[in-house]
Structure 1
Amino acid sequence: MSTSLSSLPSGHQTMLLAHRAMVTDLPRIAEAANRLAANPDATRAAALSGYVDRVHTLINHHHEGENEYLWPRLRTHGADEAAIALLAAEHEELDKFLAEWHRMATELGTDGSVAAELARITMDVHERIVGHAADEEAELVGRLAPALNPKIWKGFETHMRKTAPLWTLRFMPAWLLSVAGPDELGGVPALPMARLFRGWLERTQRAALGSAA
C-alpha cells in the first residue's frame, strides 16, 4: 500500500484503510489473548470476546459488500474474470478461518488454553488477511482497473453504508480514523462521527486489548 491514499476515489481509500485497520488490530488481539492465557481474567476476556465480535462483523461486512456489489458491477463492465475469481475464492477460504476465529472468541473465559488457541488462530487469520489484502489491492490497480470508475466506487460506498449494522456508525469511522494519515481523511466515512467517537473507541480497545492497544 502506498504511503498516502489521497489521490484515490474515496471508496477506494476507505477500502484500503479498512485493510490497514484489520491487519493492525489482529496482532494486537493475539497479544491480548496471549496475556489472557498467562493471566486469566474474566472481565478482560469478556471485553476481548466482544471486541473480536465487532471486528469479525466488520470483516464479514467488508467481504459481503465486495461479493454482493463490487464484483457483480465490475463483471457488467467487462472486468477480468480471473481476477474476480481469485478474490472471490480467497473470500470463501477466509470465511472458514474467520468463523473458527469468532467461535473461539465466544468461548473465552478463565480457561487459559482457550485464550492461547485464540491467539494462535488470530495470527493465522492475520497472515491470510495480509495475503488477501495484498492480492486485492494489486488487482484493483491492475487487472480490475479498466472496469473501475467513480460511479462504481460511489455505489459501493452507498451499498456499504446502507447494509452496515447500525452500531458500526459509532465504531467503523473511528476505527478507520485510528489508522489514517493526516492526508487520508477523505477515506474516513462520517468524519465528524469518527472524531466524536475516537475517545470511546480508544477506551473500548484499552478494555479489550490492554497494553496492546
Structure 2
Amino acid sequence: MTAPTTHPAQLLLPGQAAAPEGPVDLAAMYVMHRAFRRDADAFAAAAAATPVADRRRWARLSRRFALFAGILHKHHHGEDVGLWPLLRERGADPEVLDAMQAEHAHIDPLLASCSGDLAALARGAGEETRRRLIGCTARLRDLLSAHLGHEERDGMALVQRHLGPADWQRLDREVFAKEYRPRDIPAVLAWVMSGLPDEAARRMPGANPVMLAVGRLLVRRFERAEARTFG
C-alpha cells in the first residue's frame, strides 16, 4: 500500500474564491490577493466620497494609489515572466494561462487611467475628472476581483497539479522577490500585514518572531497614514 500524501492546509481568507489542495503552500499568494482586494474596494469608495475641491486628500490618495499599483504591477509581472511560462513548460492548460495573461493586459490600462485622474485631481481638476475616476476605480475593483477569483480557482489549481514546493520556493526567490529592492520591503510588509490576522501573517514567507514584531510596528504607522488618506 502507498502511504497517503499529506498536503499543507491552505489559507482561506475572507473574499477569497478558492484554495485548491495540493503540495504547494500558497499562503503567500493569498495574502497578496487579500491586500489587492482591500485596496481596490477602498479606492472605489474614496473616489465616490472625496469632494472634488479637497486637493490635499486627492494628493494623499494619488501617492497611496502609486504604492498599490506598483505592487500589483510587480506581482503580475512576476507571474507573466516566471509562473505562467513555467506552467506552460510543465504542460498546464494553455487556455487558462492565456486567460490569466489577457486579464493582466486589461487591468494595466485601468491602473494608468486611475493614476492619471488622481494626479489631475490633486492639481485641481474638476468634477468631470472625478466622475471619470469614480467609473475607473469601480471598473478596476470589479475586473481585479474577477481576475483574482479566476486565478484562485483555476490558476492555483494548475500550480498544485504541475508544480511542487521546490518549484514554488525557487519562483519566490528568483522571480517575485527580485521585483523588490531592499528599501521597498518595509512599505510592502506594512501594506500586506495591515488588517491581516496574526495566524495568516505567520504563514508569510520568511515569517519569524522578529519579522512579525517589526511588521506590527510598521503597520501601526501605516494605518495612521491610512486613516488620513481614506478617512
- Shorter-chain TM range is 0.7 to 0.9
- Which of the residues 190, 199, 203 maps onto 2:220? 199
Deviations 1:85-129 (A, max 9, x none): 111111112222222122222212233423332222111100000
- Gap regions ≥5 residues in structure 2: 1-10
Q: Quote the residue 1:162 is aligned against.
A: 178
Question: Contact (CA 8 Å) 2:61, 2:229: kept in 1 or not?
Answer: yes
Deviations 1:124-175 (A, max 9, x none): 1000001000110011343443112112211222121222244431122222
2:180 is equivalent to residue 150 of structure 1: no
**Relative contact order (alpha carbons < 8 A, sep ≥ 6): 1 or 2 greater?**
1
Q: State the shift of 1:84 in Å.
A: 0.9
TM-score (norm 2): 0.79
Q: State the shift of 1:3 in Å.
A: 4.1
- Which of the residues 185, 197, 201 maps onto 2:201? 185
* Secondary structure, aligned partner of 1:107: helix
Note closer, same or farther for the CA distance 1:160–1:119 as it changes in structure 2 (3 Å cut): same
- Gap regions ≥5 residues in structure 1: none
Q: Quote the residue 1:118 is aligned against.
A: 133
Question: Contact (CA 8 Å) 1:48, 1:209: kept in 2 or not?
Answer: yes
Letter in 2 for 1:82: E
Query: Within 2, Cα distance between the matches of 1:28 and 1:164?
Result: 24
Q: State the shift of 1:205 in Å.
A: 1.2
Structure 1, 70-79 or 113-122: larger mean CA deviation = 113-122
What's the C-alpha RMSD, in Å, of the aligned pairs? 2.4
- Which of the residues 2, 6, 21 maps onto 2:12? 2
Question: Contact (CA 8 Å) 2:52, 2:130: kept in 1 or not?
Answer: no
- Which of the residues 20, 28, 39 maps onto 1:25? 39
Structure 1, 70-79 or 175-184: larger mean CA deviation = 175-184
Note closer, same or farther for the CA distance 1:141–1:160 as it changes in structure 2 (3 Å cut): closer
TM-score (norm 1): 0.85
Question: Contact (CA 8 Å) 1:83, 1:144: kept in 2 or not?
Answer: no
